[in-house]
Copies of this chain bind each other. A is one copy, B any other.
Amino acid sequence: MAGTALELHPDRLLPADPGTRAIARDLYDRVRPLPLISPHGHIDPAVLLDNHPFPDPTTLLLTPDHYVTRLLHADGVELSALGVGQGELPEKASRQAWRLLCERWHVYQGTPVRYWLEAELAEIFGVTVAPSAQTADAIYDQVGAALADDAFRPRALFERFKISVVATTDDPCSDLAVHTALADDPAWPGRVIPTFRPDRYLDPGQPGWADAVAALGEAADIDTGAYTGYVAALEQRRRYFVAHGAVSADHSHLDARTDPLSPAEAARIYRAAVDDEAGTGETTAFRRHMLMEMARMSCEDGLVMTLHPGVRRNHHQPTFQRYGVDVGADIPVPVEFTDALRPLLERFGTHPGFHLVVFTVDETVWSRELAPMAAFYPCMYVGVPWWFLDAPDAIGRFRSAVTEIAGFSRSSGFVDDTRAFCSIPARHDMSRRVEAGFLARLVAEHRLGEDEAAAIAVDLVSAQPKAVFKL
């Protein structure tokens, strides 16, 4: 097939200055072969249980990944033309969507999406030409052919990717049967653990909440008609998750406030919400109270608490109505943590064993709020750059903003947070290269010894995520 060669330079993402690059290369070489730890993400465990071949390149790499689709949408492509919201794609539509991706390949220039996709195409599928209108079909055929090979089935890739543990994101009502089946499968050596993600059960202001808490009651076999039962049901489901291997509970509301209510007030609002008679102020107050309750439960059951606030979900209602959630139309908003988390930290900030990992897409809080808090509270860790900020320069800004205040030990390890299974190795690799570059600069500026930097580099991808996420 003709076209520009697709070649991954061995020094990609390393600093340009030759002296710094040499140090970075050495640091990177030490972490490159280490297994991947993925304590937060969104892959579907059934894919690993069933181990069916992936259907086609578009369904695997394009349609479900809003990092990929949103830039094509901005470039004028309808999401429907990319297969979004359409279930299984016929071959013709799949190939046509793939062509759209390749024709508009330039929209990814300078983005990590390009880095990930190139790495996936080249390193997993052996593609040797850059995507373009001319090469679209050939790449589609090459990747498609590979997918029919057993070596490209989910379990084979999982092993090839050297994933030592991966966390999924799960509904509190889930019976985690897939996780159980995987754990019980003697032919499956991997570790796939669930994550407790209770957002929709905690916010009575969201549509469907009343049904959700009713279902929660059924799942827990506890009557959730009143507040105490609701709390008990949440506690029960968390214990169920712990028993099935979960190590963390993940929370993503618009803000991070944790103002507690009195039990009586919480019970009153809960009752009103069940009866659909709670106002917006009340449901918001209840949701914030419940975030505090989640911290209390984490202190009791040991689940690491992770926060990802500050995103206006489904910013474009017409898109939401047509395509649903998670299609690239979520937009960050400013977020405040110092006062928002104060009630929680005053109560549980020094609780032994409690871990709170805070992620942000508002980078202004790194030096102003998150690093100062993580540099005082033993429970708190600053999450590495997430989502829009999971990118080389942004990771550099993160380390620059956080490290001088909180060092390296107060940051979480890398979190890939992805729905795109094949992007996992590339995402970890990108992070490892950029961290190596940051550390190399500190060495080159004589702020850190080279041995120290090597130990930190290794720590950030092994001991640190294990310790922070209790793996």
Chain A positions near chain B (C-beta within 8 angstroms): 4, 9, 11-20, 70-71, 73-76, 106-112, 115, 312, 315-318, 328-334, 336, 338-339, 342, 345-346, 349-350, 361-364, 367-369, 371-378, 380, 388-389, 391-394, 397, 400-401, 403-410, 441-442, 444-449, 452, 456
Q: Is the CB of A369 within 8 A of B445?
A: no
Q: Which of B16, B318, B333, B388 contacts A339 (CB 8 A)?
A: B333
A-B contact pairs, 6 of them (CB 8 A): A16-B444, A71-B406, A108-B407, A331-B373, A332-B372, A333-B368
Q: Is the CB of B378 within 8 A of A110?
A: no
Nearest to A76 among chain B residues (CB) is: B378
In the bound complex, CA of A357 to CA of B17 (Å): 36
In the bound complex, CA of A131 to CA of B97 (Å): 59
Q: Is the CB of B377 within 8 A of A74?
A: yes
Q: Is the CB of A110 within 8 A of B407?
A: yes
Q: Is the CB of A110 within 8 A of B404?
A: yes
Contacts of A110 in B (CB 8 A): 403-404, 407-408, 442, 447-448
Q: Which of B74, B316, B367, B406 contacts A394 (CB 8 A)?
A: B367
Q: Is the CB of B12 within 8 A of A446?
A: yes
> Given A70-B376, A342-B312, A362-B368, A11 and B446 touching (CB < 8 A)?
yes
Report how many copies the assembly holds: 3
Contacts of A108 in B (CB 8 A): 407
- Which of A74, A107, A328 has the most C-beta atoms of chain B within 10 angstroms of its own C-beta? A74
In the bound complex, CA of A294 to CA of B373 (Å): 32
Q: Given A109-B408, A393-B400, 8 other A-B contacts at CB below 8 A?
A: A4-B449, A18-B19, A71-B375, A74-B377, A108-B407, A315-B376, A318-B350, A393-B404
Contacts of A446 in B (CB 8 A): 9, 11-14
In the bound complex, CA of A371 to CA of B331 (Å): 9
In the bound complex, CA of A409 to CA of B113 (Å): 14
Q: Is the CB of B377 within 8 A of A368?
A: no
Contacts of A361 in B (CB 8 A): 368, 372
Nearest Cβ in chain B — how far from A235, in angstroms? 25
Q: Which of B339, B391, B397, B447 contacts A392 (CB 8 A)?
A: B447
> Given A334-B336, A377-B316, A74 and B410 touching (CB < 8 A)?
yes
Q: Is the CB of A70 within 8 A of B363?
A: no
The 8 A-B residue pairs whose C-beta atoms are closest, nearest first, are A391-B404, A16-B444, A9-B446, A12-B446, A110-B403, A393-B400, A331-B338, A16-B20
Q: Is the CB of B405 within 8 A of A111?
A: yes
Nearest Cβ in chain B — how far from A255, in angstroms? 13
In the bound complex, CA of A71 to CA of B380 (Å): 12
Q: Is the CB of B345 within 8 A of A315?
A: yes
In the bound complex, CA of A281 to CA of B356 (Å): 34
Nearest Cβ in chain B — how far from A346, in angstroms? 5
Nearest to A5 among chain B residues (CB) is: B449
In the bound complex, CA of A14 to CA of B447 (Å): 10
Nearest Cβ in chain B — how far from A82, in angstroms? 13
Nearest to A403 among chain B residues (CB) is: B110
Nearest Cβ in chain B — how far from A411, in angstroms? 10
Contacts of A111 in B (CB 8 A): 403-407
Contacts of A376 in B (CB 8 A): 70, 73-74, 315-316, 328-329, 331
Nearest to A449 among chain B residues (CB) is: B4
Contacts of A377 in B (CB 8 A): 74, 316
Q: Is the CB of B70 within 8 A of A375?
A: yes
In the bound complex, CA of A20 to CA of B461 (Å): 30
Q: Is the CB of B315 within 8 A of A338?
A: yes
Contacts of A409 in B (CB 8 A): 75, 106-107, 109
> Given A110-B404, A375-B70, A447-B13, A338 and B312 touching (CB < 8 A)?
yes
Q: Is the CB of A312 within 8 A of B339?
A: yes
Q: Is the CB of A367 within 8 A of B388?
A: yes
Nearest Cβ in chain B — how far from A435, in angstroms? 12
> Given A20-B16, A376-B73, A442-B110, A371 and B388 touching (CB < 8 A)?
yes
In the bound complex, CA of A221 to CA of B255 (Å): 51
Contacts of A349 in B (CB 8 A): 316
